[in-house]
Amino acid sequence: MHRGKGMKFVGDSRVPASNRMPNVPKDYSEYPGKTEAFWPNFLLKEWLVGAVFLVGFLILTVSADPPLEKIADPSDTEYIPMPDWYFLFLYQLLKYSYASNQYIIFGTLIIPGLAFGALLLAPFLDRGPERRPSKRPLATGFMLLALAAITYLTWEAYVGHDWEAAKLQGQIPDTAVDTETEGYKIAEANGCISCHGGGLEGSGTPPALIGTGLTAEEIADIAKNGVGEMPAGLFSGTDEELEKMSEYLASLKKE
């Protein structure tokens, strides 16, 4: 049969109109310059970026001294703790009357729970296909409200904190002691160092032996008869050694 006139085409439903399956994405080659394979191209770039930040963070930790404070003292009831900057907004929230004292459950659980729960539910409450913030009012509104609240509370916590007093209360005292003196050696021989530390700085309980404000006689009486959790009879030296040790400990002052 000649092509053209008289030629008929018959469709067969068993033959697919296209070889492409509807749920299979196109090949990367069909999007030149717009996308790339996750492995290894994209993953390698992410790893390189992460490695740069990690090296920078390690350099920062080595070059900058950590903001350490003195050893924690559970008996110091005047110490005011200060959280890290990323928790300052919660720290400030607990200062308000409606989120503290008898309402502490609101400040620690209910209010933060509602706030973070709203952020988690925002993508599900606004499931539109639009990606512009102006087209997604619920998600955008929740995010802006959260950012505004966190920024305001963080700023209020920062400006309202007495940084000078905090620096003084956390200042590490100079507790360098002369370990070659006779008084120190007597204290070491009688086990004082094992409890109060090699620098006599203490650990809260037992307390520090520097700047105690006690007289030599009071220290000698405690060494022989004990006080609080310290039992009597721990000092096993002579009366002369006790006198020398007590006078040495009473002479230690905080600098």
- Identify the CATH number of the domain in which residue 238 sits: 1.10.760.10
Q: How far apart are CA 141 and CA 207, in angstroms?
A: 53
Q: Which residues pair with 227 in a beta bridge?
A: 230
pLDDT tens for residues 145-200? 889 999 999 999 999 888 888 888 877 666 567 778 888 888 888 888 778 777 77
State residue 10's pLDDT score.
54
Cis bond before residue 40 (omega within 30° of 0): yes
pLDDT tens for residues 34-70? 667 778 888 898 999 999 999 999 998 899 887 788 7
Q: How far apart are CA 234 and CA 237, in angstroms?
A: 9
Same domain, 161 and 229: no
pLDDT tens for residues 26-35? 665 666 666 6
Same domain, 158 and 210: no
State residue 204's pLDDT score.
62
What single-letter DSSP state applies at residue 88? Answer: H
For the entire predicted model, the pTM comes to 0.51
Looking up tokens 């000092």 gives 235
Per the CB < 8 A criterion, the answer to whether 246 and 216 are in contact is: yes
**Listed residues 169, 198, 225: the one ending a domain:** 169
**DSSP 3-state of 23:** coil
The reply to whether 65 falls in a domain is: no
The reply to whether 135 falls in a domain is: yes
The secondary structure of 92-141 as a DSSP string is HHTTSGGGSGGGHHIIIIIHHHHHHHHHHHHHHH---S--SGGG-HHHHH
- Mean pLDDT over 238-246 rounds to 86
State residue 173's pLDDT score.
63
**pLDDT of 4 above 60:** no
State residue 136's pLDDT score.
83
The reply to whether 147 falls in a domain is: yes
**Listed residues 105, 137, 169: the one ending a domain:** 169
If pLDDT is split at 50, 70 and 90, which confidence band does 242 have?
Answer: confident
CA atoms lying within 13 Å on the CB side of residue 18:
4
The reply to whether 204 falls in a domain is: yes
Residues sharing a CB contact under 8 Å with residue 250, sequence separation 6 or more, in sequence order: 212, 214, 215, 216, 219
pLDDT tens for residues 141-153? 888 988 999 999 9
The reply to whether 34 falls in a domain is: no
Tokens linked to 43: 């993953």
Same domain, 151 and 109: yes
The reply to whether 35 falls in a domain is: no
- Mean pLDDT over 227-238 rounds to 82
State residue 51's pLDDT score.
95
The reply to whether 116 falls in a domain is: yes
Domain that holds residue 243: 182-251
Same domain, 136 and 199: no
State residue 37's pLDDT score.
74
**Listed residues 145, 169, 193: the one ending a domain:** 169
Q: How far apart are CA 121 and CA 191, in angstroms?
A: 61
The reply to whether 4 falls in a domain is: no
Same domain, 162 and 203: no
If pLDDT is split at 50, 70 and 90, which confidence band does 14 have?
Answer: low
State residue 16's pLDDT score.
54
Which residue type occupies 13? S
**pLDDT of 7 above 60:** no
Which residue type occupies 158? Y
pLDDT tens for residues 74-112? 767 778 888 888 899 999 999 998 888 888 898 889 998
**pLDDT of 5 above 70:** no
Same domain, 107 and 147: yes
CA gyration radius, the chain: 36
Same domain, 93 and 165: yes
Mean pLDDT of the chain: 80
User: Could you tell me which residue, 78 or 220, shows the higher pLDDT?
Assistant: 220
Q: How far apart are CA 253 and CA 255, in angstroms?
A: 6
Q: How far apart are CA 179 and CA 176, in angstroms?
A: 9
State residue 153's pLDDT score.
94
**pLDDT of 15 above 80:** no
Same domain, 106 and 165: yes
Same domain, 154 and 211: no
Number of folded domains that form the chain: 2
State residue 203's pLDDT score.
64
